[in-house]
Structure 1
């Protein structure tokens, strides 16, 4: 449990550092300067939108931190039986990485007003995200047909809950991504597209980070790596 709690602490520290670098504690409504010439896009203040997303990500990160903490405590019980990860989980991970890269490239295309590259990047992000979700459902199916049912063991329940909650957040991101795709096809103003794609990219990178943390814990890599570091440093 100690190893996983260390990972949890590192996760929280990284999240706090990242949010502080993104300016979550700033107060854009108090900033002075060239605000007279500023016109919100579609009634949405970009600074407020970005701050709102960062606050939301902080809440989501806290939620997963609580889940990880409960996982670390429950796995110490004698009835705990690890869940073997289906091989498709690794393919799903690749799909989520590709989706995040595609959105990153789409953000760059939006910055240079390259409409064709922007639409291609958004579509690639959407397709790979759908592939990730489909692969997660396939992983669930393989586990249930293999006898790893939700109620048969606490480890099974945690696997379904952790991956399920993460999947729900990916679905929520797909809604925002679909709106960005629609805006790109309507040739929305470049400023608005840059904001939408930038918010989606930030959200996607965060979900990828959370997934990699969950994967390291579900596979036991996190605990093994920390134990190895302890032996080397000790």
Structure 2
């Protein structure tokens, strides 16, 4: 739920900020879902807001990618935007994916995750009239590359503080997926928050090692959750 809210807010706030300069009221006439952009228009047509979203994983992962896709659909509906997305974009394909949508004339191309940063930095200068955005990053490159970042450690800290105050067993747990900076920040923040309000609390932290493999992730969460529950933890952060 936390990751879903974060992704929805990230996409929605980003489009709200850019819509005034790029958007219009023309009704959407198509839905290029998961399309490979193949056109050669290198300037953004201002008649209708066009947004493309690049995802590192599948839209049915019930987490980071799925919630970003839901945010994109919400923007499509509320702003009458033309949207497109590409899922499961491998590291080696990120430059090509950015460039393809840029050549089709999308106003905004979003790489959903810090791993899109290097590719965006290489492609953005080639299309100065198109806005490139990378989430979960602090990347910036004038005039058309920016990032949207969230203070993951602060979020984790607040949730840890709540867990530390609520726990009756004296034990809380944080379960992360892969050990990447945003998740590590959330998990470490959770531990700090719990300890801040309850210095005697025991904090268990574990990583499952996967976001994209739903079966592996589910079995890992069940196994780790069950083990930590037996150790006394009744309050969990999953991220």
After TM superposition, is the score higher than 0.5?
no
Higher helix share: 1
Higher RCO, 1 vs 2 (CA within 8 Å, ≥6 residues apart): 1
